[in-house]
Amino acid sequence: MRKKEIKLVITFHTTADAMAMEKACKTEKVEGRLIPVPRILSAGCGMAWARPSLDPKQMKRWMDERHLRYESIQECLV
């Protein structure tokens, strides 16, 4: 079992959006991985991207520049 720590969690409306995020992050070697949406959050597709904590505004800007769609960007214990 992984030790829980504060992570930046990005939720998506659709699975296609989550997969696009995964592809962009792998291409540009951005740290993180797809996870099931934590119980304390809710999301349209049930998948989320989790990465070590980072300024949410910085991640939002990175995603907006690449036209990646998301539902929310939050920090939570995962």
Parse the chain into domains and list their residue ranges: 6-77
Between CA 44 and CA 38 the distance in angstroms is 13
> Which residues lie below 8 Å from residue 52, measured CB to CB, with a gap of 6+?
5, 7, 8, 31, 32
pLDDT digit string (tens) for 3-56?
A: 889 999 999 999 999 999 999 999 999 999 999 998 888 777 899 999 998 899
In the prediction, which pLDDT does 35 show?
A: 95
pTM for this prediction: 0.90
What topology does CATH give the domain 6-77?
A: Alpha-Beta Plaits (3.30.70)
